[in-house]
Amino acid sequence: MRLEDHDAADIDITNFVDEFSHCFTGECRVGVLQTLSQISRIITASDDLAGSLPLILAVMRQQLKMKRGLLTLYDRASETIFVHDSFGLSDEEKARGAVLPGEGVIDKVIATGKTLIARSRRGARAVFDKEKKSRAETAFICIPIIHAQKVLGALAAERGYMNPRLRAQDVEILTMIAAMIAPAAELYLLETLEKTRLEQENRRLRNTLGQRFRPDNMIGGSKSMQDVYDLVEKVAATKATVLILGESGVGKELVANAIHFNSAASDGPFIKSNCAALPESLAESELFGHERGAFTGALSLRKGSFELADGGTIFLDEVGELSLSIQAKLLRILQERTFERVGGSRSIKIDVRIIAATNRNLAEMVEKGLFREDLYYRLNVFPITVPPLRERGSDVITLADHFVTTFAAENNKPVKRISTPALNMLMAYHWPGNVRELENIMERAVILCEDEVIHAYALPPSLQTSKESGTSFGVSLESKLHSVEYEMIVEALKNSSGHIGDAARELGLTRRMLGKRLERYGLNYKTFRAAGASGDDLG
């Protein structure tokens, strides 16, 4: 294949019009000038590549008698050359849609920024199907589209030529067209491809969030949590108002996330509002927004949480902390889905799903006159009670292992498991702070850990006292030593799969000394021998 290359900026068009007027080549190109002027006016008026491209391809096909033509653009972010529009391509070529770097003439033009002409059928075959036999020499002309010294793509065409001067004229015409459409091509790449990338990234993030908060991905397999999962799955498919009940730290916000991201409104906004953190003077403005000049300091219009959640879900955490006046306005939204901004008179209608949560007993608050009875019944359409951690059985261990893995990775520590004595203490504790307290305790334990195992002495004193945890070890020096000794013996027995001799050697004791300590702590080496095959089943 013979290739001729030209610098797009160096093409001499001084005698361009003169050559056209004499028609020395057998095909007159004078009529093309009027069309080029028309293309220029269209591009100047709108910078719209889609608006001018059909006319450009028509000129190439009808007036220049090209058999095939295409406009390719170069996406720098993905390093992909793709066909934006074309004519004369086969179905297979159209189906491909993209030309990967290194595949032929177009790639070389975009890489070098220079015009290339493939002057044989073999050269043309690098991009197109095999040309039918003809006495005319087939030429594949490829012109770079350059703007601000950046190659944006290429304009390419193929036809047979009997006269080399006609081919040179067509190169000049295509070069002029490429220069005219360069600004529109850059605008298209900036707007269309960047918008597409942002949309794809947005979908990816939403899919990630949806996967993260799906009920079947929530941690814990206890019966009480399975009941919660079932309720979440059922109510997520509806638009019913949900009231999530439970103690502080049980994960009510996690349940709200699961409901939203498994609902039909998962593509819509998910706005969270902590009612307990809203000052009385600002609560109405935060939730419902305000008009400009509604009060001192209201310098501009502000949308509230409800308006921002339109088309999605609003999560009202600690709804029991709202004042009676705000409760009245919330009741109207639940009934009519309309409200007015502070200082405004126009009713705003919204389509929003309301999820509320509280750790307070709303029924008791109603009896005491602290919470509106009508609002309570409006919120209590579909109640979900999240159980406290002390009622979730082995979920304590599952959650603890999860937090250890997470914090070990965050802190670059080789922590692999939790020791048996530490697990016993975790299971015995009553967890007044629920999952949030467990998370904080495991983060602290990982930070204090000096080897690959979370030991009991890395847990806070509240878990190590008999009063708080129900365990038999106090905080006196003697009790602390017994605690450490007990844990070391258990670890040695686990490592040796219950073999007394190996465990004694690891601890630096005789078999007799180890036997006495086993009696002291009520340990049976056979238990560890039976569990040896299961590795960490005991901790």
Ranges of each domain in the chain: 3-193, 215-387, 392-454, 476-539
| CATH number of the domain located at residue range(s) 392-454 in this protein | 1.10.8.60
Sign of CA dihedral 405, 408, 412, 416: negative
Mean pLDDT value of segment 489-517:
87
Q: What is the side-by-side order of every strand in the sheet holding 114-118?
A: 3-7, 114-118, 137-147, 150-161, 68-75, 80-87, 98-99
pLDDT band at 468 (very low <50, low <70, confident <90, very high): very low
Whether the predicted pLDDT of 6 surpasses 60: no
pLDDT of residue 122: 43
pLDDT of residue 125: 41
What residue has token string 């082995």? Answer: 394
Q: Which CATH architecture has domain 3-193?
A: 2-Layer Sandwich (3.30)
Give per-residue pLDDT as tens, 75-131.
Answer: 877 778 888 888 887 777 666 655 544 457 888 898 899 999 887 544 444 444 444
Report the share of the chain in percent with pLDDT over 90.
28
Asked which of 163-177, 243-257, 380-394 is least confident by mean pLDDT, the reply is: 163-177
pLDDT band at 62 (very low <50, low <70, confident <90, very high): confident
| CATH number of the domain located at residue range(s) 476-539 in this protein | 1.10.10
Q: Which of 195, 210, 198, 200 is nearest to 313 (CA)?
A: 210
Whether the predicted pLDDT of 500 surpasses 80: yes
CATH class, domain 215-387, is alpha beta
pLDDT of residue 206: 62
Domains 3-193 and 392-454 share a fold: no
Do you know the residue count of the chain? 539
pLDDT of residue 2: 57
Using DSSP, state whether 85 is helix, strand or coil. strand
Whether residue 271 contacts residue 412, with contact meaning beta carbons closer than 8 Å, is answered with: no
Report the distance separating Cα 224 and Cα 216, nearest Å: 14
Mean pLDDT value of segment 283-301:
78
pLDDT band at 132 (very low <50, low <70, confident <90, very high): very low
What is the DSSP track for 7-75? ETT----TTHHHHHHHTTTSS--HHHHHHHHHHHHHHHHH--HHHHHHHHHHIIIIIS--SEEEEEEEE
pLDDT band at 46 (very low <50, low <70, confident <90, very high): low
Whether the predicted pLDDT of 329 surpasses 50: yes
pLDDT of residue 52: 73
Report the distance separating Cα 369 and Cα 373, nearest Å: 8
